[in-house]
Amino acid sequence: MDTKTCKLSVANENGRISVLQLTDAHLFADEAGTLLGVRTASSFKAVLSSILNQEISFDFVVVTGDISQDYSVNSYKRFAHMVSVLEVPVFFVPGNHDDGPLMYRIFGDFGVHTERSLVCGNWHFIFLNSEVYSVPHGWVERSELNFLKQQYEAYPDLNTVVLVHHLPRLVHSRWLDTQTMHNQDEFNNFISNFPNIKLVLCGHVHQEVDEMFNNIRYISTPSTSIQFEPYSHDFALDMQGPGWRYLQFDPNGQISTQVYRLPAGRFVPDSGVEGY
Ligand SMILES: [Fe+2]
């Protein structure tokens, strides 16, 4: 696995970094593949088109897991081809629906960055694995925590963002909280030792979360495919449109961010389904 640090220069002269977050695309080998009735390649394409139409600028893209729904090489190839329209570097973490080792083997050939550490201006982005083979919940291994510590200590003065698929917080949705990062107390306690960690940026919960805990901001972002209904006791889908997130990082440690969505009604999932 790649342990090199990628270094990118900041385009903006005031040192502000702009980042696009995409998450939980759930693509298939088959372009017509559907997740609970939504053609995920179509919703992902619509999200990319909407981003391009807004003419916003960003230095790079981060993808917080579940790029694939079927673990196939072709789903990853499709993702790399589609996201290349944004014409900026793309970084990722694997999700529970991904084949992480496969991604690290093939993505370099498809133009997606496989480095797990990125330094850009006054900020350091560290990409962690929380995937547990063949189960939906997450767990961050001690080796990953050690990687985080080692990376942090290489640039201790930089503002730091940790990217990981599983949000290490409960969302108060009983069914979804069974799939949370199971060692989140250990994880949150561990990262609280590093005062320059400002943000933990996640996917997995297919909904917007933005909260402070232990003086660290925890953010998750809507999926580019289907959405889960917040605070639902049992599995339920939210009929809001596919989404993505724009973040700006100032040299002094300030973060500003906004979620964007496609209008509801264009990619409507099957509301009668009872599981995911
Ligand atoms: Fe997902």
Interior angle at CA 111, CA 80 and CA 30, nearest 5: 20
pLDDT recorded at residue 1:
65
Give the Å distance between the CA of 45 and the centre of ligand 1. 17
pLDDT recorded at residue 133:
86
Q: In whole angstroms, what is the distance from residue 234 CA to residue 275 CA?
A: 9
Give the Å distance between the CA of 51 and the centre of ligand 1. 21
Give the Å distance between the CA of 205 and the centre of ligand 1. 7
Is-contact 28 70, C-beta < 8 A? Answer: yes
Give the Å distance between the CA of 254 and the centre of ligand 1. 28
Q: In whole angstroms, what is the distance from residue 123 CA to residue 149 CA?
A: 16
Handedness of CA 263, 244, 209, 186 (dihedral sign): positive
Q: In whole angstroms, what is the distance from residue 184 CA to residue 169 CA?
A: 7
Give the Å distance between the CA of 201 and the centre of ligand 1. 14
Q: Spell out the domain ranges in the chain.
A: 5-261
The token duo for 106 is 């093939």
Residues in the chain: 276
Give the Å distance between the CA of 276 and the centre of ligand 1. 9
Interior angle at CA 67, CA 19 and CA 239, nearest 5: 85
Q: In whole angstroms, what is the distance from residue 202 CA to residue 165 CA?
A: 5
For the chain (276 residues), the mean pLDDT of every run of 10, in chain order, is 86 91 98 95 98 94 97 97 98 97 96 97 97 94 97 97 98 97 98 98 98 98 97 94 98 97 93 74
For 169, the enclosing helix (H) or strand (E) is: none
Give the Å distance between the CA of 123 and the centre of ligand 1. 27
Give the Å distance between the CA of 223 and the centre of ligand 1. 7
- Name the amino acid, one letter, at 134: S
Give the Å distance between the CA of 3 and the centre of ligand 1. 26
The token duo for 19 is 């980042």
pLDDT recorded at residue 102:
97
* Residue from 61, 57, 60 nearest 21 by CA: 61
Q: In whole angstroms, what is the distance from residue 37 CA to residue 151 CA?
A: 41
CB neighbours of residue 26 within 10 Å: 28
Around ion ligand 1, residues with a beta carbon closer than 5 Å are 24, 66
- Name the amino acid, one letter, at 41: A
Give the Å distance between the CA of 68 and the centre of ligand 1. 9
Q: In whole angstroms, what is the distance from residue 35 CA to residue 33 CA?
A: 7
Give the Å distance between the CA of 57 and the centre of ligand 1. 26
Give the Å distance between the CA of 24 and the centre of ligand 1. 4
Q: In whole angstroms, what is the distance from residue 262 CA to residue 248 CA?
A: 21
Give the Å distance between the CA of 66 and the centre of ligand 1. 5
Give the Å distance between the CA of 270 and the centre of ligand 1. 16
CATH number belonging to domain 5-261: 3.60.21.10
Q: In whole angstroms, what is the distance from residue 75 CA to residue 31 CA?
A: 8
Interior angle at CA 248, CA 245 and CA 252, nearest 5: 150
DSSP assigned state of 55: T
